[in-house]
Structures are given as structure tokens and as C-alpha cells.
Copies of this chain bind each other. A is one copy, B any other.
Amino acid sequence: MADILVFGAHPDDAEFGMGASMVKFVRSGASVTVCVLSRGEAGTFGTPQQREAEMRAAARKLGGEIEILSFRDCQVFDSYEARIKVAEVVRVHRPRLVFAPYHTNAGNPRDGGAHPDHTATGTIVRSALRYARFAGLKDLKGEPWNADHLVYYMVPRAHIPSLLNDVSDYMEEWEEIARCHESQMSIRDGKVLDFLRAMRVAYGGMLSVRYAEGFLTDDPIPFDLPLFLRGNSPPAAQPGKG
């Protein structure tokens, strides 16, 4: 059982995409399990063994659980078997809230850079959550489970988020966890964390906080009055800026 189940295609997707939110969730008392589909073995940097060790280290530091599936890196495709496999994980963990990489480029045809494993993971999870509910699916083990919400995170790309999580107080812990993926620190000419931090500053700017992580949903979000009434009234801004 986990309150929150986070899917990723590769060992560092969850930490790089929404790691500070995971820290915030765990610190607020929620249980978090990260489920990684592959060991990222097609990558230029790091062996599968090294990468598995890195994700286990990150999970320990986070205080979450980890589960590793046997998909192959660069071979994540939506199929009936893939949906069943993921739906079984959902039925085991019985989460209220599920995260996955965003499943489509449709809202932003310019998002050319998305790794096809990422969009495929989102697509599989989306159908798997539905299948997990169906009592009549004979191929699927476990008790039916209805995860209430599916929220997508962005493996750093160009989508406009519809939800922003203020993570200003969790950036140092985030950096420690992200650094567990040591073999990946040389990508983007060694500037990968600078880039990931800049994305969080840019999203923070949309919310008038220092750092935020961005998310998307398929479905409209329930309106929550206290969320809107509780506020932090930033000081009056200046015309050309606000």
C-alpha cells in the first residue's frame, strides 16, 4: 500500500522530473513508491547495475519504496501486456494518487524532444489505471482498485503545466536525491542540475514563488475553496512586471 505511486520509464525520470515534490510529499507524511519500468540500459552513461544502485540510493534518501519492472529501455510501447503488467502494480500498491510522465505531445506539437519511452509510459499508466478497476478482466490478478487521480509530471520539456507545486523549501533535499544518479551528472555537459533548477525557477515565476515543479492532468481538477481563500498575498507588483 502507498498513498502515492510514481511511475518512470528510466531510473532518474521521477527524481529529475518531480523529485522535490516527492520530498515534500514524504515530509508531509505521505507514503511514496517509485515504480521504474526499465534500468535505462540503452543509455550512454552508466551500466544497469550502477543505475539500479543509484535509484535505490535515491529512494533511501527520499524515504520511499522502489519497484523495478522488466521493460527494456527504448522498447516501452503501449500494448495489452504492458497495461496488464502496470495494472497489477497498481492493484498491489492501491494508491490514491498516481504520477506518470505526460502521455502526449498533442497539446504542444513543438515538444519534439520527448523520449518515446516517456510518452509511452504515460499512455500505458493511463489505460492501466482504468483496467485496474475492471472486475471482468480475467488476465489481471489482484483485487480491483480505483486510484482516484492521475497527475502527469514533465520530464524536463516544453509543455505549459496546469498545476504548479511550490517546492521552494525542498530544493536542497532535491539536489541531494538527484545527485544520487551520479552516472548521469555528465549529461548536458555536466550542467544537468543547473538546467533542472532553472526549469523550477521558471515554473516558480508563474506562481510567484522561488521554485516550483509543473504538472498536468487530463481531467478537470475539483475546485477547492480553502485552497483559493488561503493565500499569501504577495506585495503589490509593478506595472511592467506583474
A: residues with CB less than 8 A from B are 3-4, 9-13, 21, 24-25, 28, 30, 40-45, 73-75, 77, 79-80, 83, 96-97, 104-113, 115-117, 126-127, 130-131, 133-138, 144-146, 148-151, 155-156, 158, 160-166, 184, 187-188, 191-192, 194-195, 197-199, 201-202, 204-208, 210, 214-225, 227-229, 231-242
Interfacial chain B residues near A149, Cβ < 8 Å = 228, 231
Given known A-B contacts A158-B160, A198-B205, A43 and B238 have beta carbons under 8 A apart = yes
Q: So how many copies of this chain end up in the complex? A: 6
Q: Mind listing 8 A-B residue pairs with CB under 8 Å?
A: A4-B229, A73-B136, A105-B106, A111-B218, A112-B217, A133-B236, A164-B221, A184-B241
State the majority secondary structure of interface residues on A. loop
Interfacial chain B residues near A204, Cβ < 8 Å = 195
Are B240 and A9 neighbours in the complex by a CB distance under 8 Å? yes
In this complex, the member of A115, A136, A223 whose beta carbon has the largest number of chain B beta carbons within 10 angstroms is A223
Interfacial chain B residues near A130, Cβ < 8 Å = 115-116, 239, 242
Inter-chain CA distance A54–B149, complex, in Å, is: 33
CB < 8 Å neighbour of A201 from B11, B28, B109, B194: B194
CB < 8 Å neighbour of A45 from B80, B184, B238: B238
Are B134 and A44 neighbours in the complex by a CB distance under 8 Å? yes
Q: How far in angstroms is the closest Cβ of chain B from A99?
A: 10
Q: How far in angstroms is the closest Cβ of chain B from A71?
A: 11
Q: How far in angstroms is the closest Cβ of chain B from A58?
A: 14
Given known A-B contacts A149-B228, A158-B206, A240-B184, A166 and B222 have beta carbons under 8 A apart = yes
Interfacial chain B residues near A241, Cβ < 8 Å = 43, 115, 184, 187-188, 192
